[in-house]
Copies of this chain bind each other. A is one copy, B any other.
Amino acid sequence: MDIQSLSERISLQDRRAIAQAISVVENDSREAASLLHDLAPKLGNAYRIGITGPPGAGKSTLTSEMTKALRKQGKTVGIIAIDPTSPFTGGALLGDRIRMQDVSMDKGVFVRSMATRGSLGGLSAKAKDAADILDAAGFDIVIFETVGVGQSELDIAKAADTTIVVLVPESGDAVQAMKSGLMEIADFFVLNKSDREGAEQAVRALKTILTFRITHAEDEWIPDVISTVASKAKGIDEVLAEIERHEAHLLKTDTLIKRRVAREHDRIIELVESFLRVDFWTPERTKKLEERLKNVASHKESSYEVAQDLVSEFRGK
């Protein structure tokens, strides 16, 4: 593949080139490396928004309504939707994607669904690469939409400049958010389906929990709770206003660049692990592992010993 011409076509917002480039990062890490290298000077313009929360909170609907509102402001939007894959369906569940359709016919919107075929760890890296491609292509806004329950999905959410955690009024949701680590990554909360019973109490519960987080530093960002009914397009402007308020805060406190550097830091670590994995598991070493597994199965040696020996040999000791 001619990576250089692909990279040029991406800068020209060629939709086929963008789609092709995302397939490159999904499939081949060596070509991805050279593509991302070419795109490096074109990065840094897109504002990245992470939308996460438990299944069924209405994240796709919210993303879709936010996108429509952003388009009215004249902004272009790239969306990366992370779908846990089931071998049954072989890809994203249809329902969520159908909701996206009304925005995906718009030329100023690019929607890409990425599924967790293998490990989520790998997906997290690939989602960030896809965001870079959309950034280099000149989209004003890049949205990551993930089901925020696993560590790696939290990692994707953290790859954003502003991370929104979407919850619903059902009892216990705030406590569950706290348990699953969503609380720590939220720059603000959206309480969606807020026309349902218990919405007011849920907002109050969330705000109570959030007060524990405030350390009273002068320039501290205080996460707020915004109520929406995404299916009726209610509260969307308030969500966008809160994103702008957060962006302004990041710029004022000089933390936007710090966040972005921290993000690349984590990414380099992820890439190192994936490169080492490829280097390590040669066919020979895989065969050695298989042979010694027999000893582990018969309790003659421990998995620790086998792993240590394989690593020592790799390092030439």
Contact = CB atoms under 8 A, between A and B. Distances in A.
Interface of A: 32-33, 36-37, 39-44, 54-56, 83-89, 93, 116, 119-121, 147, 149-153, 172, 175-176, 178-181, 183-184, 209, 212-213, 257, 260-261, 264-265, 267-269, 271-273, 275-277, 279-280, 289, 293, 296-297, 299-308, 310-311, 314-316
A151 B43 contact: no
Contacts of A209: 88
B56 A147 contact: no
Given A37-B302, A272-B310, A305-B33, A264 B184 contact: no
Q: Which of A212, A297, A302 neighbours the largest number of chain B CB atoms within 10 Å of its CB?
A: A302
**The 7 residue pairs across chains A and B that have the minimum distance between CB atoms:** A150-B150, A271-B307, A149-B149, A33-B304, A40-B302, A120-B151, A55-B176
A312 B88 CA distance: 40
Given A147-B179, A150-B120, A311 B268 contact: no
Nearest to A304: B33
Contact of A119 (B151, B175, B257, B305): B151
Given A150-B151, A311-B272, A88 B178 contact: yes
A277 B315 CA distance: 13
B87 A303 contact: no
Contacts of A305: 33, 37
B304 A289 contact: no
A151 to B, nearest CB: 4
Given A39-B302, A40-B301, A267-B303, 14 more contacts: A33-B308, A36-B304, A37-B304, A43-B299, A55-B179, A87-B184, A88-B212, A116-B151, A151-B151, A261-B297, A265-B289, A268-B293, A272-B307, A273-B273
Contacts of A54: 55
A297 B180 contact: no
Contacts of A93: 175, 178-179
Nearest to A34: B304
A108 to B, nearest CB: 24
A131 to B, nearest CB: 12
Nearest to A181: B84
A43 B153 CA distance: 35
A180 B302 contact: no
A166 to B, nearest CB: 15
Contact of A149 (B180, B257, B289): B180
Contacts of A301: 37, 40
7 contacts: A36-B302, A86-B178, A88-B212, A151-B152, A268-B296, A268-B307, A276-B280
A306 B275 CA distance: 12
